[in-house]
Amino acid sequence: MARAADGIVGTVQMHPSWAPNQPHRGEIAKLMVHRCARRTGLARRLMEAIERAAVSQGVHLLTLDTKRGDAAEALYRTLGWTAAGTIPEFAIDSDGSPHDAVIFYKAIGDSSR
């Protein structure tokens, strides 16, 4: 979580996998940066911090999804994430319209196990 003088400006969450055959995997569930803190490098710092936290928990493969065409899609690519594919109509926007999602993955830490 990132704070500024007037409150929280960013957060990121990782869910470790509960599947018995995937103890090495985690999912980035949500990265959010307040409008006032965008384009400051905060999203990059939050993602770097969650990667370090994941490695410390024994996670060395992360996945995430993001809305196709969003600024986050370009951000993840610059952070070394690999697009695995696109799923059509993956989620529903607040106006009720469906949107496609790009699925990403990234090997972190010691992934040679």
Read off the CATH number of the domain in which 20 is found. Answer: 3.40.630.30
The beta-strand segments (E) located in 1-113 are 2-4, 7-16, 25-33, 61-67, 82-92, 98-107
pLDDT tens-digit series, residues 53-84: 999 999 999 999 999 999 999 999 999 999 99
Name the domain count of the chain: 1
pLDDT at residue 26 in the model: 97
**Statement: residue 1 has pLDDT above 90:** no
pLDDT tens-digit series, residues 34-58: 888 788 889 999 999 999 999 999 9
User: In Å, how far from its chain's centre is CA 73?
Assistant: 10
Alpha carbons within 13 angstroms on the beta-carbon side of residue 8 total 8
Is residue 67 a part of any domain in this protein? Answer: yes
Q: Which domain holds residue 68?
A: 2-107
Is residue 112 a part of any domain in this protein? Answer: no
Is residue 113 a part of any domain in this protein? Answer: no
Task: Judge whether 64 and 27 are in contact, CB under 8 Å.
Answer: yes
Residue 3 pLDDT grade (very low, low, confident, very high; cuts 50, 70, 90): low
Is residue 90 a part of any domain in this protein? Answer: yes
